[in-house]
Amino acid sequence: MLSNAISVLIQYSLIYCLIVGLILALRRPMYNIAGARWVYTLWLVLLVPLGVLLMPDTIAVTLIPSVFQDFSLPGRVSTATRVDSVHAIASAAIILWFGGVLVTAWRFFRTGLRLSLGLKERYQPPTAQQLRVIELFCRRAGVFPAPRVHLSPDTDGPALWGMLNPVLLLPFDFFDRFTRSEQMLMISHELVHLRRKDGCWNLLFCVLHCIFWFNPLVRIAERRFRLDQEQSCDQWVLWDEPSEQRALYAAVMLKVAAPASSGGPIGFRNTVPEVFGRVAMIQDHRKSISQSVLGTIGLVVLLFAVVIVSAPATQAAYPGGAMSGWCTVYQGLGF
C-alpha cells in the first residue's frame, strides 16, 4: 500500500511537471494568436490528470491508445531484505511528504485566518449612496444579487475576498480617488472574477501547492496562473469597449500600481514588468472571431496531449491494470 502511494506521488509529480512545463511553453504563442482569455483557459488542463486517476481502469484502457498498453519492464527481482528496505524507504518518504503537506496547508490556513480576522476588525460598511453606485455597476454587468461590499485599508483597489460567498473590498478612498468611469471599469474587472468563480480555481492551486510542496515548478506556475487570470479579466472587461475606454483602463491600472499606493496585502500584486505587460495587452486588444477559433483548436490539442501524457500513470493507481506507467522501473525495486 505504501509503495503504491509513493508510486502515485512520483508519477503524478512528473506528470504535473510535464503539464506545467507545456503550459508555460505555450503561454506566449497562445497569447499572440488567441489572446489572454484563451491563455487562462489553458490552465483547465490541470484537472485532466485527476480525472484520469479517478477514471475506472476498464474505461481508461478503452480510451487510451494501445501504444501505452502492455509496456512493462521485465525481470522483477525481489528478496525479503530488499522488500523490507524498500518499504522502509517508502514509509519514510510518505511521512516526510505528509508532514510537508500538513505544514504547507497550515501556513495557508494561518495566513487566511489572520487576514480574515484583521479585515473584520478594520473594515467599514459603505454608505447607502456608495452601495447604490456599486449595485448600479453590478446591474450593468448582469450580476444579481450584488456581492457584499466593505471598505478596507488593506487593499489599493477593488478585490474579492473569499470563495463561496466572496466579499468585494474597496479602499477607503475609492469613491474620492477614482472617477465614476474608472470605478465602473475596476468593479467590472472584479465582477468577472466573481462570475467565473476564480476563487475556486485559486483554491485548486493551493491544493496543488500543498500536495507538491517540494516542487518549485508549481510555485512558478502559480504566479503565472494568477497573472493570466488578471489579464483574461482585463480582456473580458474591454471586449466590446472602444479605444478610449482601453486607454482609461490602462491609466487606472498604472494609478493603482503606483509606488505611492498603500501596498495592502489583499489582491494580486503585479511586478513592474507585469504591469507594463498588462498595459501593452490592453492597448493591443482587438476583438476577433479568429481568436476564438484558434483558441478552441489549441485547447483541444493540448487536452488530447495531456490525456496521452497522463494516462500511463493510472498503472500506479491500478497496479493490476493493462497500462504500466512511466515509472515502471520501480517494479524492479519491489514496488
Helix (H) or strand (E) holding 113: helix 80-122
Tens digits of residue pLDDT in 74-96:
444 444 455 566 667 767 777 88
Higher pLDDT, 311 or 160: 160
Cα distance between residue 91 and residue 105, in whole Å: 21
Question: Per-residue pLDDT for 66 more than 70?
Answer: no
The Cα–Cα gap between 18 and 156 comes to: 36
Q: Can you give the residue range of the structural domain that contains 181?
A: 2-333
Arithmetic mean of pLDDT over the chain: 75
d(CA 249, CA 294): 26
What's the rounded mean pLDDT across residues 101-105? 92
Range ranked top by mean pLDDT from 126-130, 155-159, 212-216, 241-245: 126-130
* Torsion, Cα of 43, 47, 49, 51 (10° steps): -160
Dihedral angle sign, alpha carbons of residues 137, 139, 140, 141 = positive
pLDDT recorded at residue 52 = 66
**Tens digit of each residue's pLDDT (9 = 90 or more) over 273-311:** 777 777 777 776 666 666 677 777 877 877 777 777 666
Helix axes of 216-237 and 2-34: crossing angle, nearest 10 degrees = 40
pLDDT in the model for residue 275 = 76
With b for 16 or more beta-carbon neighbours within 10 A and e for fewer, the 274-289 pattern comes to bbeebbebbeebeeee
pLDDT for residue 105: 92
Mean pLDDT computed over 183-209: 89
Domain count for the chain: 1
Of the candidates 79, 48, 75, 77, the residue with the CA atom closest to the CA atom of residue 64: 48
Which of 59-73, 85-99, 108-122, 266-280 has the least mean pLDDT?
59-73
Residue 37 above 60 pLDDT? yes
Tell which residue, 45, 40, 50, has the closest CA to residue 197: 40
Q: Which of 32-41, 57-66, 139-148, 228-237 is predicted least confidently? A: 57-66
Half-sphere exposure of 102 (CA within 13 A, CB side): 6
